[in-house]
A = this chain, B = another copy of it.
């Protein structure tokens, strides 16, 4: 059996996501929304990136889908996840938050459109995510809205952001894990679960998606922290060790580099194990889990 070709898979799936997002951005432009607002939302939405969350969502939907299922559900779910992820970046970059001027080599939203518009573009992306998910007749759309809202809300992504900015943050592993489980983990878990829901998977697939999503989400964050310590400036696109220099709260800083690597590998093994019954040996989900650690997504 030939080894699964992850590079081709990723390129294909990322192009599919770009096209799905573009479709929805164009629908937005003809919705009666003010053109300047749509431009600002689209500026951040179409700024590239690896599209991890929509790719995971589509991969799960494709894996569990019965061949007869033809529905825009998984595309809507994938795009809704990226709308949410994008809004979180736009708001995180604001002067009152991280105050970043650049993202992915381009000026951040508020540097181009002003702070008021960046707040509103973020609000718009957040809200439109639910409009996308809810606009069709399928009853599962309510469940998709619920998954996304809980993952992105006060006990999910927004809560994680608050934990990350807390002044009295304790430098302890359990706090670090909890923070990341909320800040990035909840949405990655939701991406996997929403893929199963959109693809019509059963309850066992849903549980496996959750185990996979939790493990991949944590591995992703550990790998991110490790890469910051070990990568060269060229590989990273930002000064290496920037997190450590800024006194940031990272896995290598709390448990050391070797233990961080071991933890990441352990999470990947758990993720691969969780999806074997769904896709068999050597499928895209296992390859994606390994990729997240071996070469940061």
Question: Which residues does A use to contact B, with CB under 8 Å?
Answer: 28, 31-34, 36-38, 41, 87, 91, 94-97, 114-117, 119-120, 122-124, 126-131, 133-135, 138-143, 145-146, 148-150, 152-156, 158-159, 161-163, 165-166, 182
Closest Cβ–Cβ distance, residue A80 to chain B (whole Å): 10
Q: How distant is A98 from chain B, measured CB to nearest CB, in Å?
A: 9
List 4 tightest A-B contacts by C-beta distance, closest first.
A134-B146, A142-B142, A96-B115, A131-B149
Among B36, B117, B127, B162, which residue has its beta carbon within 8 angstroms of that of A126?
A: B127
Quick check: A149 and B162 within 8 Å, CB to CB? no
Copies assembled: 2
* Shortest Cβ distance from A87 into B: residue: B123
Contacts A142-B141, A162-B117; is A155 near B96 (CB within 8 Å)?
Answer: no
Q: A37-B154, A141-B145, A154-B38 are in contact. Are A119 and B94 (CB under 8 A)?
A: yes
Are the CB atoms of B159 and A127 closer together than 8 Å? no
Shortest Cβ gap from A49 to chain B (Å): 20
- Which residues on B sit within 8 Å (CB–CB) of A140? 142
Q: A97-B116, A120-B158 are in contact. Are A153 and B128 (CB under 8 A)?
A: yes
Chain B hits for A153, CB < 8 A:
33, 124, 127-128, 131
Q: List 23 A-B contacts (CB under 8 A).
A: A32-B155, A32-B159, A34-B166, A37-B162, A87-B123, A91-B119, A95-B96, A96-B116, A119-B119, A120-B162, A123-B123, A124-B154, A128-B154, A129-B149, A130-B130, A130-B145, A130-B146, A131-B146, A131-B149, A133-B149, A134-B149, A135-B150, A140-B142
